[in-house]
Every structure is written in structure tokens, then in C-alpha cells.
Amino acid sequence: MTLYHVHMSLARNEDYPNGSPAHGYDLIVPLDDKMMLDPEEWKAHSRECTVRRFWEGEPDQKGLLRHIGRGWSIDYDVSTPEADEPFFKLDRHEFKLGEYLSVREQDGEMQTFRIVTIEPLKKK
């Protein structure tokens, strides 16, 4: 198992016809040899599986990747039982360059992001 840094930027949409590198997420995730999320490794490394949401004009938000049932979510406030931003069918996605992932953001809007980089984390 290896932890990976995944950088995603906002895909093209009505407001950003060319997408936007100033809006997105940085994820630290455990991926298996098929580049799919590994729930068992997540259990062993859940505190290391962090998320940073960056959005131009807003302060960064930092949280943890949570695995709830088959679903995956971003949790910005671990003191509450619910997660803040669920991913759309993340358990079925292969992480590879150019792929698209969707997140239902805190305002209830579904946004689509494109994977820009995937790099294994260097061992410390």
C-alpha cells in the first residue's frame, strides 16, 4: 500500500468554461495496485488521509477523508457525526490523470473536478 497525493482542479462548468486551477482539492489517499481506494489501508492510516480544499478568495479548508459504508466523504469538523462533503461513487473510481471526480459541496451543489497530478508520498 502506498499513500498518494492527488491534486484535483475544478473542471469546466458554466461559470468556468475552461475549468479553474484556483479551485480544487489536494487529497492524501491510500490506493491499491489498481489505483482504487483501499478501505482496509484507510482504516490503518485514517489520520494521514487528509484533504485540503482551496478556493480562490476563500481561506483553505482542511479535513479528513472518511469512509462511511461504501461511501467516501470529506469531514472538516470531526467533532460532529456527519461528514461535510460526500464524493460521488468514489469507491468505484480509478485514480488516474485526467479522470473526473464529483463532490457535493457544503452548499449542496455537485461540482466536478479533474485529477491533475497523482504522486506517491515519499517515505519519511
Q: Please state, in angstroms and as integers, the Cα–Cα distance from residue 106 to each residue in 61, 76, 87, 111, following that order.
A: 12, 10, 12, 11
Q: What is the pLDDT of residue 109?
A: 85
| 15 vs 86: which has the higher pLDDT | 15
Prediction pTM value? 0.89
Domain residue spans of the chain? 2-120
Cell numbers given for 92: 468505484
Name residue 52's beta-bridge partners.
26, 62
The model's pLDDT over 17-73, given as tens digits with 9 standing for 90+, comes to 999 999 999 999 999 999 999 989 999 999 999 999 999 999 999 999 988 877 888
Q: What is the pLDDT of residue 28?
A: 96
Q: What is the pLDDT of residue 81?
A: 59
